[in-house]
Chains A and B, each alone.
Chain A
């Protein structure tokens, strides 16, 4: 067994809290980055992840927001594993926001499992150890002779057995172990297994799980009139017609918006639509055509400060036998989570009660505290299940807006955006342009790689440490940003979602130019990075190879059914390696994706069903957005306002099969919500090239006649 310091000492431990039913709450304070010298200070503070009542009801808390990434199931699985309980007998509860108790409760950067894997397992293991101690003392036997199984402590020699419920009260007075033993992964009974989404029953019977389902006494339904374009701001409004609509109760304004409050959503919407609002120009009204013109010029320029610069690319290009040059382009995208933006807020007497969808509850609280001028301690925030995130809710604008409206209206409100509001009010995936040059030397080898990238509001438009950096003597990456008042922000796998397409397509172009198999070509480059690395090699070569080789086997790469064609790409992001192959055909100028294979190395898989679902979903998500979806602006106004023109993947075009295999490993988990998305656009576009000879360099590819 692996010995790890428990990071928990008596002083920090255990507030024994009596529950209503007379049970005991095990509260664990976990030292994350706190030293002993400040041990008496309220550290990360009392963390409470599990409770056991005398009837044996075991409640596990899910600390991070559930946005569809599965953490309401997978994080409690970690607890259950080390606690050694029957998963079918636990109760899982979503924690409210409490940074003192639960630490970082955000959902983003594919980070929840990565951050929670060890601390949460320890929380379970400590509890198990104390239950053993309580049983040993009861039986007057050494702890070493006791073991646990499915919620019981056993003393095999005497055949004695006590349930965790029976031991709950006594175990609370047991000393906190200095060292706790985490399970050897080979003994895992829950981690790595297929466990169904904990909320399936509620989801499939229509229970009020989501923020939009909030109903509170006296609550008013709220719709908001917001600027119709970036660059415009509120000047004045006339609500005469609005107030005539039955059900409309009030109209209030904040600094930036006008809100209509009503007894139902429909009245609120009709009232909002009946407002006569005058907007005035506050800054430039920008159009996508302007941005594209700026990108075109910028990608021809060098940056004063390259993001990475190995060797001498200029020399490699000027001395090359052949230079391959291509410009790739991706559009603006909206996050468009299925649950439209909403939030419940009840602000009164210097306090705020908040409930709704956010990926960043900590930021939401601090932003609301600032906006209302109240202390964070006077704000409570509940976390419902969320109808998707994709990065949209990494900003707390919706929380602040709802709080300000509630404060202005002096009423509990549920603010809801329409889809059109969401399309105009997002923090978009920036569009970008990527100019690549590859130098092929006299030996017919790739020995120079240049990328000049430009994107909207980009600090860094590219991912300069990406493969093949490290494998090439001459490598340079420049990036440029175009500053815009059109809001941009992280969208599932930020930067990678664009670069993955451009870079992995360009690698395919080079392979074809060199008349090499695209997989063999990558493996040769990886071998070069291993034997003669240039600069920093930011990826694990063996892990990269392992997924490439696995997907090659899975997909029977190199063998094609007549009329069908395959494409390949591999990508590393969020510490996870993914290689994918798609099999397609082209019928009447339109691609049909028959099957996708994905090989993934994400360390230890926690929930096999959830993990597979994330990979399948990321592939469908990335493919759909590459196929049809783009957003353009005309004078600051979005031109695709709803799903009739902002097209999303539907069943008919989704690959009927997505086969996923995970590399078997017990290394600590790495990210999984995002990493399967970046490669898929290139995978399918590379297959389209194989089928038609047409190279897709601009997304969405559905605009192209094949």
Chain B
């Protein structure tokens, strides 16, 4: 076991875990931040997506020992009141069906918009590789355009 002090959602939090523990399980099991989801465990599906600084990472395959002083943002820390433009756009387009993958989709979209404030369809295709088993991609695409304020997005 080893002790790690992590910066998560702008708070310093210390956990005592096995060094190879994926960040996902630290968030879910140690810190009770269960909004970040487990889907595949091999960085394929993206349900576990969180931000490290401004980049999307797949926390199921990111060992806690490698996080260091990087700032982690989870869905719980994205906004105070659930009113981040991406969250609002997701609600406005009524994207979720089962909803399980959507926290990861939202975090992936937030990272995309930080990098490209006005993404094209091709940018969205390239950046959004998370799996939605319910098949809400049509609405995810529209929600990203809406959050970006792209014209003709509705």
Identify the A interface with B (CB < 8 A): 66-70, 194, 196-197, 199-201, 203-210, 212-213, 215, 221, 246-247, 264-267, 270, 336-340, 385-390, 416, 418-420, 609-610, 613-614, 616-621, 624, 642-644, 648-652, 654-658
A405–chain B nearest beta-carbon distance, Å: 18
Question: Scoring B residues 100 to 142 as 1 if CB is less than 8 Å from chain A, else 0, what string do you get?
Answer: 1111001000000000000001001110111111111111110
Q: How far is the CB of A241 from chain B (nearest CB, A)?
A: 15
Chain B residues closer than 8 Å to A207, beta-carbon distance: 35
* 8 Å CB contact of B125 from A209, A385, A420, A652: A652
B87/A204 in contact, CB under 8 A: yes
A338 engages B101 (CB within 8 Å) = yes
- With A205-B82, A215-B32 as given contacts, are A199 and B131 in contact (CB-CB < 8 Å)? no
Q: For the complex, is B59 an interface residue (Cβ under 8 Å from A)?
A: no
Contacts of A199 in B (CB 8 A): 96, 99
Query: Which of A68, A196, A203, A616 contacts B103, CB < 8 Å?
Result: A203
Kindly identify which residue among A266, A338, A416, A644 contacts B133, using a CB–CB cutoff of 8 Å.
A338
A206 close to B35 (CB less than 8 A): yes
CB closest residue in chain B, given A614: B97
Instruction: Judge whether B33 is part of the interface by a CB distance below 8 angstroms.
Output: yes
Q: Identify the closest chain B residue to A387 (Cβ).
A: B100
**CB-based contact A643/B82 at 8 Å:** no
Q: Known: A652-B126, A655-B138. Contact between A621 and B96, CB under 8 A?
A: no
State the CA gap A477–B96 with chains docked (Å). Answer: 40
Specify which chain A residues have a CB less than 8 angstroms from the CB of B79 in the assembled complex.
205
Size of chain B's interface in residues, with CB distance under 8 A?
61
Q: Are A650 and B135 in contact (CB under 8 A)?
A: no
Across the interface, do A657 and B98 meet the contact criterion of CB distance under 8 Å? no
Contact residue among B33, B94, B99, B131 (Cβ-Cβ distance under 8 Å from A650): B131
Contacts of B121 in A (CB 8 A): 656
| A386 with B98, Cβ < 8 A, contacts A338-B133, A620-B135, A651-B140 known | yes
- Is B67 an interface residue, CB under 8 A from the partner? no
The distance from the CB of A591 to the nearest CB of chain B, in whole angstroms, is 15
| A194 engages B98 (CB within 8 Å) | no
Docked Cα-Cα span, A373 to B7, in Å, equals 49
Measured between beta carbons, the chain A residues less than 8 angstroms from B33 are 206
Nearest A residue to B90 via CB reads A204
Q: Return A201 CB to nearest CB of chain B, in Å.
A: 6
Interface contact B131-A648, CB-CB below 8 Å: yes
In the complex, the answer to whether A206 meets B94 with C-beta atoms within 8 Å is no
- Interface majority SS (helix, strand, loop, mixed), chain A: loop
CA distance A652 to B76 in the complex (A): 28
Partner of A643 from the list B44, B96, B138 (CB cut-off 8 Å) is B44
A247 to B25, CA, bound (A): 13
Picked from B34, B35, B106, the residue with its CB within 8 Å of the CB of A215 is: B34
**Contacts A624-B135, A654-B138; A338 near B98 (Cβ below 8 A):** yes
Q: Which residues does chain B contribute within 8 Å of A652, judged by CB atoms?
A: 125-126, 129
From A197, A215, A264, A651, give the contact of B25 (CB < 8 A).
Answer: A264
Given contacts A643-B42, A656-B141, contact A651 B128 (CB under 8 A): yes
The answer to whether A266 touches B18, judged by C-beta atoms less than 8 angstroms apart, is yes
Shortest distance between the CB of A72 and any CB in chain B (Å): 10
| Residues in B whose Cβ lies below 8 Å from that of A389 | 98
- Give B residues with C-beta under 8 Å from A: 1, 17-18, 20-22, 25, 28-30, 32-42, 44-45, 47, 74-76, 78-79, 82, 87, 90-91, 94, 96-103, 106, 121, 124-126, 128-141
B15 to chain A, nearest CB (A): 10
Contacts of A246 in B (CB 8 A): 1, 18
Given contacts A196-B94, A656-B121, A658-B138, contact A203 B44 (CB under 8 A): no
Partner pick for B82 among A204, A616, A617, A648, CB 8 A cutoff: A204
- Asked if B18 and A205 make an inter-chain contact with CB atoms under 8 angstroms apart, the answer reads no
Q: Does A206 lie within 8 Å of B45, measured CB to CB?
A: no
Q: For A69, give the chain B residue with the smallest CB separation.
A: B97
Besides A203-B96, A212-B34, A620-B135, 5 more A-B contacts (Cβ < 8 Å) are: A205-B35, A246-B1, A388-B133, A420-B41, A648-B133
Q: For the complex, give the distance between the alpha carbons of A339 and B104 in Å.
A: 13
Nearest chain B residue, comparing its CB with the CB of A195? B94
Q: Which residues of A contact B131 (CB under 8 A)?
A: 338, 643, 648-650
Tell me whether A212 and B38 are in contact (CB under 8 A): yes
Cβ contacts A to B, 18 pairs, < 8 Å:
A68-B100, A194-B94, A196-B91, A199-B96, A199-B99, A201-B82, A208-B35, A209-B99, A221-B29, A247-B18, A264-B17, A266-B20, A336-B133, A338-B101, A338-B131, A340-B38, A613-B94, A657-B138
A70, A338, A613, A649, most chain B CB atoms within 10 A: A338
Whether A68 contacts B44 by the Cβ 8 Å rule is: no
Question: How far is B133's CA from A620's CA once the two chains are assembled, in angstroms?
Answer: 9
Task: Using known A-B contacts A266-B25, A418-B41, A644-B42, determine if residue A649 contacts B135 with beta carbons closer than 8 Å.
Answer: yes
> Inside 8 A of A210's CB, which chain B residues have their CB?
37, 100
A residues near B18, Cβ cutoff 8 Å: 246-247, 266-267, 270
**Chain B min CB distance to A595 (Å):** 10
* CB closest chain-B residue, reference A609: B94
Asked whether A642 and B140 contact (CB < 8 A) given A201-B91, A338-B101, the answer is: no
| CA distance in complex: A197, B38 (Å) | 22
| Residues of chain B with a CB closer than 8 A to A390's CB | 133
Residues on B with C-beta less than 8 A from A614 are 97
A647 smallest CB distance to B (angstroms): 9
Evaluate contact between A206 and B135: CB separation under 8 angstroms: no
Chain A: minimal CB distance from B99 (Å): 4
Residue of chain A at shortest CB distance from B33:
A206
Contact status A264-B34, CB under 8 Å: no
Say yes or no: B129 contacts A651, CB within 8 Å: yes
A624 to B131, CA, bound (A): 11
How many angstroms between the C-alpha atoms of A619 and B134 in the bound complex? 10
Query: Which residues of B lie under 8 Å from residue A221 when comparing CB positions?
Result: 29
B29 lies within 8 A of A266 (CB)? yes
Chain B residue nearest to A651 in the complex (CB): B128
In the complex, the answer to whether A617 meets B136 with C-beta atoms within 8 Å is yes
Query: Chain A residue with minimal CB distance to B144?
Result: A651
For the complex, give the distance between the alpha carbons of A199 and B33 in Å. 18
Q: Are B21 and A339 in contact (CB under 8 A)?
A: no
| Measured CA separation A561–B103 after assembly (Å) | 38
Q: Contact at B126–A340, with CB atoms within 8 Å?
A: no
CB distance from A673 to the nearest CB of B (A): 10
Chain A residues near B41 (CB-CB < 8 A): 418-420, 642
Which chain A residues lie closer than 8 Å to B138 at the CB level? 616, 620, 654-658
A651 pairs with B28, CB closer than 8 A: no
Asked if residues B44 and A385 are in contact (CB atoms below 8 Å), the reply is no
B residues in contact with A338, CB < 8 Å: 37, 39, 45, 47, 98, 100-101, 131-134
Contacts of A619 in B (CB 8 A): 135
**Minimum distance in angstroms from B111 CB to a CB of chain A:** 14
Bound CA span A347–B79, Å:
39
Distance in angstroms between the alpha carbons of A197 and B95 in the assembled complex: 8
Q: Are A203 and B102 in contact (CB under 8 A)?
A: yes
CB closest chain-A residue, reference B127: A651
- Interface residue from B30, B32, B130, B136 paired with A616 (Cβ < 8 Å): B136
